Amino acid sequence: MARKSKKPGPQVSGPGIKGIRGGRFKAGPADVMREINASIDFDRHLHAQDIAGSKAHAAMLAKTGIISQEDGDAIIKGLDSIAEEIESGDFEFSQALEDIHMNVESRLGDLIGAAAGRLHTARSRNDQVATDLRLWVRDALDRLDAEIQGLQAALIGRAEEHAADVMPGLTHLQGAQPVTLGHHLLAYVEMLGRDRSRAQDCRRRLNECPLGSAALAGTSFPIDREKTASALGFDKPMANSMDGVSDRDFALEYLGLAAILAVHLSRLAEEIVLWCSGPFSYARMPDAFSTGSSMMPQKRNPDAAELVRAKAGGVIGALGALLVVMKGLPLAYGKDLQEDKVPVFETAETLSLSLAVMAGMVSGMEFDTGRMKADAGGGFSTATDLADWLVRELDMPFRDAHRVTGRLVGLAEEKGLSLDGLSLNDMQSVEKGITEAVFGVLGVDNSVTSRDSFGGTAPERVRQAVSAARKRFLT
């Protein structure tokens, strides 16, 4: 970005390098010190939040008489001009000015002169950056909620479409019991619902304002912290100034919920990879989310799902990185906290991309429901239905029914048959009480239809769950 200004750089009225270092130092920083100390390359992402916080602070200073109304108005007008410059790309960010705060304040000095120096009255970069990051994370959480909802909508739509289509339900990646595809997809809707709930909880807890905490001890100026908190949409000011400038638990909580969300996305991505593989062949990815091979012309790779799966590692790592930054910090502020932003910014970008890609894949996938149904009956998946029938119809204790069913599975395996391929005589050779009625529970369609308990896989239950999910998550 380049600031299209005839002025060559910070003017005397702005803080400049001398303003940052004050009168304490006789020489400027070493080049490598300037490089490691500067954060403008990444904290420029906070420009909107920084300007909003400065405007609220200036308005409060003027309202309380700490600065004149004339200076307050000039500061706010200048900040609005800077916001326009940044949004249009006409702003020159300077590494020499270290961070977004000093870049904005220096440019403010260019625009309005000495009045710019009054903006930093009764605040520190410590409470300023804590406020900026809370505002940024709050905005990120609001975006995240809408992005998760978009994926939920895609899953709910496909679940309704496939409410009665049978597929294998697996445990240990082995055939367990038949389920419906709609039921399977709705499981992820519920996981994502809890992810949204965690995001909403995080937003509620972080919505307290650090501004006015100053460097760590508060300020002797008669500021109105309630006014600035309200102006910025916070519920209230933070109660302890040292806590206000030094903790980043809100960022940790954001990264924590992000890591759980990324794991949920990775699990769904892994299933998509499996479903699109030759041994499964349950799904076909749309062309828009598939890639080919540079060598093998027949290949159709689910790379989008694989990348979502891989990106979970970065999100999990971001949480670990910030936890390590925080774990050894005494009160109050340490420059270590400069390292809180990159993990947060990168995580938000990764989640936004992953959710959009996942919603596209889910919406566009084609399912081979015939293949799914054929596989659903494999691995003696209706054995539990048989055991349940023995309990219901013969009043057999479940452990006895479990043993009888196990013997019947063994018999079917010896004969190379499915359970419903055994004759009545075969079954009665193991348990004389079995009648012809047992065959009514052994087909996969009968199996899923019988699972009509609340939260179960029966098609009618799935349709009810789809309707309920739309009300809970999409309205």
HEC string of 438-468 equals HHHHCCHHHHHHHCCCCCCCCHHHHHHHHHH
- Which pLDDT score, from 0 to 100, does residue 2 have? 39
- Which pLDDT score, from 0 to 100, does residue 37 have? 72
Number of H helices, E strands in the chain: 19, 6
Residue by residue, what is the 3-state secondary structure of 94-109?
Answer: CHHHCCHHHHHHHHHH
Q: Which amino acid is at 319?
A: L
Q: Which amino acid is at 355?
A: L
Write down the residue that tokens 């204790």 correspond to.
397
- Which pLDDT score, from 0 to 100, does residue 293 have? 55
211 has a pLDDT exceeding 90: yes
Q: Are 398 and 391 in contact (CB under 8 A)?
A: yes
Residue 424, both tokens: 């009545």
- Which pLDDT score, from 0 to 100, does residue 298 have? 57
Question: What is d(CA 219, CA 221) in angstroms, rounded to the nearest whole number?
Answer: 5
Q: Are 415 and 422 in contact (CB under 8 A)?
A: yes
Name the residue among 261, 269, 292 with its Cα closest to residue 365.
269
SS3 content of the chain, % helix, strand, coil (to 5): 65, 5, 30
Q: Which residues, listed in sequence order, are joined to residue 166 by a DSSP beta bridge?
A: 180
Assign 181 a pLDDT band (cuts: 50, 70, 90): very high
Residues identified as active-site: 172, 293
Question: What is d(CA 34, CA 29) in angstroms, rounded to the nearest whole number?
Answer: 6
pLDDT tens-digit series, residues 107-154: 999 999 999 999 999 999 999 999 999 999 999 999 999 999 999 999
Assign 175 a pLDDT band (cuts: 50, 70, 90): confident
Write down the residue that tokens 């930093």 correspond to.
120
Question: What is d(CA 359, CA 357) in angstroms, rounded to the nearest whole number?
Answer: 5
Question: What is d(CA 89, CA 82) in angstroms, rounded to the nearest whole number?
Answer: 10
Rg of the chain over all Cα atoms, to the nearest angstrom: 31
